Amino acid sequence: MQNHYAPPGATVADVNRASGSVSQDMVEAMRGTKPWVLLIGVLLFVFAVLMIIATVAIFAGGAFALAASGMEGAPMMAIAIFYGLFALIYFFLGLYLLKYNAAIGRLVKGGQASDMEDALTAQRKFWRLSGVITLIFIVLFVVGILAAILIPLLTMGGQF
Amino acid sequence: MQNHYAPPRAAVADVSKAGRGITDTMLVQLRATRPWVLLVAVVLIIFAVFMLLGTAGIILAGVAMSMGGEAAGAPMAIFLVIGAIYGVGAITYMLMGIYLAKYSSAISTAVMTGHAQDMTQALEQQRKFWKVAGIVTLIMLLITVVWMGVLIAMPEMMAGFNQMQ
């Protein structure tokens, strides 16, 4: 039964999940992006797989050296952990780009706003991860430079 | 004069900005993307400037050494080749940084106005960035494959050369 006393409701498409279509110009811009994103996404995945293989090999070598001669295997284990971290980073960067590529594919086929939203979400995640990694590297770079300046100075100071 | 029979209006903030194919979610996602894009753009441009300085330094060192008579012929050419590689790298970084900075700026405009035209402009800038990044990746892949081929073929070529002597 219809409620005649209900407040008026607005059918606002953009409050909920989008159901409209996006302009042809936007779809064309995204279509031009797709092949390059796919190429870099696939390459990142290949790099991730190669680095995982290297991680396993270095880890096995380190474990073997650790068992055979004690602490000499420790640096190899540290390198393996570093490689593993990079493999994870490459994997997630590749994953976000492939999700971006898949959403663009759906957008090009259907032209739906919801696919554009998915594409922009995947793209945001890619850029956020890239930005965080960039920030970490900047911090490591600054710490490295400071260490390169301060450690010799402190060592020389200790000699006096 | 006020129309007492006008339909009620909802003051929904996101209706005013989004529209014509742009949803509020799109603008929110773009707004959240912007600072990271800007950060990477600034880092790329700084890298490019450092690489340009490196290029100038390498070429000047090569010229200074050749003028001093210490390096002539092949060594001077090596300096020039390394300088040229650095220069190409610097231009690539600069281009990618500029496209990302333009993308970041276009996102700001699109988020502010909510116009489909501004959104298209932003997407166009990111397309240009990905195109340059893809072409650079393809070139690097090609160089890697050629370099691996050279590394594999080099010992056999050297062995053949030695046999001829």
ipTM reported for the complex surpasses 0.90? no
Query: What's the mean pLDDT in B69-82?
Result: 71
> Does the distance separating the beta carbons of B127 and A30 come in below 8 Å?
yes
Closest CA to B41 of B108, B118, B89, B94: B94
Pinpoint the alpha helices (H) of chain B: 13-17, 24-67, 74-113, 116-164
Percent of chain A with pLDDT over 90: 58
Note the pLDDT of residue B156. 81
Could you tell me the pTM of the whole model?
A: 0.80
B90/B86 Cα distance (integer angstroms): 6
What angle separates helix B74-113 from helix B24-67, to the nearest 10 degrees? Answer: 160
Q: How far is CA B59 from CA B83, B90, B95, B121, in A?
A: 6, 14, 22, 39
B83 and B59 in contact (C-beta within 8 Å)? Answer: yes
Q: A14 to chain B, minimum CA–CA distance in Å?
A: 5
Closest CA to B128 of B101, B90, B108, B91: B101
Whether the per-residue pLDDT at B14 is higher than 60: the answer is no
Whether the per-residue pLDDT at B16 is higher than 60: the answer is no
Q: Please, how many CA atoms are within 13 Å of residue A22, restricted to the half-sphere of its CB?
A: 34
Each residue's pLDDT tens digit, B23-32: 888 999 999 9
Q: Which residues, in sequence order, are bridge partners of residue A21?
A: A112
Query: Which residues on B lie below 8 Å from A24 (Cβ)?
Result: none
The mean-pLDDT minimum among A19-23, A27-31, A126-130 falls in A19-23
Query: Which residues on B lie below 8 Å from A130 (Cβ)?
Result: 36, 40
Q: Report the residue of B99, B118, B127 to disrupt the A interface, i.e. the one with the largest count of A CBs within 10 Å.
A: B127
Q: Report the residue of B16, B28, B29 to disrupt the A interface, i.e. the one with the largest count of A CBs within 10 Å.
A: B29
Closest CA to B34 of B122, B96, B95, B121: B122
Each residue's pLDDT tens digit, A81-111: 989 999 999 999 999 999 999 999 999 998 8
What angle separates helix A113-159 from helix B24-67, to the nearest 10 degrees? Answer: 40
């200790």: which residue's tokens? A158
Whether the per-residue pLDDT at B114 is higher than 90: the answer is no
B160/B158 Cα distance (integer angstroms): 5
pLDDT confidence bin for A74, thresholds 50/70/90: confident
Query: Which residues on B lie below 8 Å from A10 (Cβ)?
Result: 10, 12, 15
> Does the distance separating the beta carbons of A29 and B123 come in below 8 Å?
yes
Neighbours of A40 (CB within 10 A): 22
Whether the per-residue pLDDT at B93 is higher than 90: the answer is yes
Query: What's the mean pLDDT in A65-78?
Result: 75
Q: How far is CA B20 from CA A11, A14, B73, B123, in A?
A: 15, 10, 64, 16
Neighbours of B164 (CB within 10 A): 6
**A14, A17, A20: residue with CB nearest B15:** A14
Residue A85, both tokens: 């971290």
